[in-house]
Chains A and B, each alone.
Chain A
Amino acid sequence: GAGVSQSPRYKVAKRGQDVALRCDPISGHVSLFWYQQALGQGPEFLTYFQNEAQLDKSGLPSDRFFAERPEGSVSTLKIQRTQQEDSAVYLCASSPPLAGASNEQFFGPGTRLTVL
């Protein structure tokens, strides 16, 4: 694939519904990041995977947020019992094997979640 893809691009949920957001990273990229971006703000770190291992989930705002990457490629961010404050753009990024913050991250277009 040409780049990181995310689906769906837009998601509208009623408060209390569960949602699942998908990220397809660039093939061969070891590191995968999830970010939350509120309107007018910069992306905020949520969680980080190296292959299938979730090495850091310190940015997840509550236990309603859960991320997985079971086979070390595709990742899913799940939000249970959505609240209005969850409305944001959720960005996924991947990095090549020489992982680390000093390396370039390739971002997907994001999923815009609106909770009514």
Chain B
Amino acid sequence: LAKTTQPISMDSYEGQEVNITCSHNNIATNDYITWYQQFPSQGPRFIIQGYKTKVTNEVASLFIPADRKSSTLSLPRVSLSDTAVYYCLVAGGSYIPTFGRGTSLIVHP
């Protein structure tokens, strides 16, 4: 199982862009990179998934360099409601996703 490393916590302010980087040095060829968001007392919610280069949806962008050993989740113009824990997962060859501790993002007014 590919292990991921991401910062335990981050702070930002409303309107700023937030970038959360995840390291996954032993990612396998058939692994995808997926990010989830979790609010207190709720289950995780899928944000975005990618394999290589850049993926963008209505919520976020995901940047993956050519070596795929890391990835960066970019949240444009965060608001207070983006305060949550963000998990980076690497899986594909194995169906068992490993969540880790995630990054606790706090957005300040």
Which chain A residues have a beta carbon within 8 Å of chain B's beta carbons? 4, 31, 35, 40-45, 48, 56, 58-59, 91-93, 99-102, 104-110
Contact = CB atoms under 8 A, between A and B. Distances in A.
The interface residues of chain A, by DSSP majority, are classed as: loop
B78 to A, nearest CB: 21
Interface in B78-109: 85, 87, 89, 91-102
* Interface hub of A48, A99, A100, A106 (most chain B Cβ within 10 A): A100
27 contacts: A35-B99, A40-B101, A41-B101, A42-B85, A42-B87, A42-B100, A42-B101, A43-B99, A45-B98, A48-B96, A56-B95, A91-B44, A101-B89, A101-B93, A101-B95, A101-B97, A102-B31, A104-B49, A105-B46, A105-B97, A106-B46, A107-B43, A107-B44, A109-B43, A110-B41, A110-B42, A110-B43
**Overall SS of chain B's interface:** loop
B34 interface: yes
B45 interface: yes
Instruction: Select the residue from B31, B85, B89 with max chain A CB neighbours within 10 A.
Output: B89
A101 B102 CA distance: 18
A43 B44 contact: yes
A-B pairs, top 3 by smallest CB distance, nearest first, are: A107-B43, A101-B91, A42-B99
Interface in B24-75: 31-32, 34, 41-46, 49
